[in-house]
Amino acid sequence: MELKNTITRENLRLLMRSFYIRTLHDKELGPYFINELGNDINNEEWQAHIELLADFWLAELLGEKTYKGNIYGAHIKVPHINRASFVNWLELFSLSLDEVYTPDISNIFIEKARLLSKDFICHLNI
């Protein structure tokens, strides 16, 4: 696949699929997502989640008014979330970014993801 050098809803979907396929196979993060959304990334729940995350990243990186959710509230209910969870999340996310985007675009995402990770750690008091 040719690496993308722009951020669009379509390639955000590719990113989210790549990331969540990795996540489903992760021994720490996978069970939570399987419990919440199932193990078939093609089901309705997963498709809605991928769209929600596309909305989130369009809002975060492009300033579009697409995301209406509460990122902290969604993660508070993860029973075993801790600092190591975010290190793991960043690693899986980075691998997926490098699969979809050029290095310049990947770096934009990973900088924002690191800031979000720090915010989560502070907000969730972990």
Q: What is the pLDDT of residues 41-54, one digit of tens each?
A: 999 999 999 999 99
The SS3 assignment for 126 reads coil
* Per-residue model confidence (pLDDT) at position 120: 84
Domain 9-123: CATH superfamily is Globins (1.10.490.10)
Confidence class of residue 84 from pLDDT cuts 50, 70 and 90? confident
Calculate the alpha carbon distances from 26 to 51, 61, 120 in Å: 22, 27, 20
* Per-residue model confidence (pLDDT) at position 70: 84
Domain boundaries, the chain: 9-123
Q: Does the pLDDT of residue 72 top 80, yes or no?
A: no
Query: Could you say which DSSP state residue 39 is in?
Result: S
How many angstroms separate the CA atoms of 124 and 85, rounded? 12
Q: Does the pLDDT of residue 75 top 90, yes or no?
A: no
How many angstroms separate the CA atoms of 35 and 25, rounded? 13
* Per-residue model confidence (pLDDT) at position 46: 97
Query: Could you say which DSSP state residue 4 is in?
Result: B
b/e per residue 43-82 (b: at least 16 CB within 10 A):
eeebeebbeebbbbbbebeeeeebbeeeeeeeeeeeeebe
Nearest by Cα to 18 from 126, 98, 117, 110 = 98
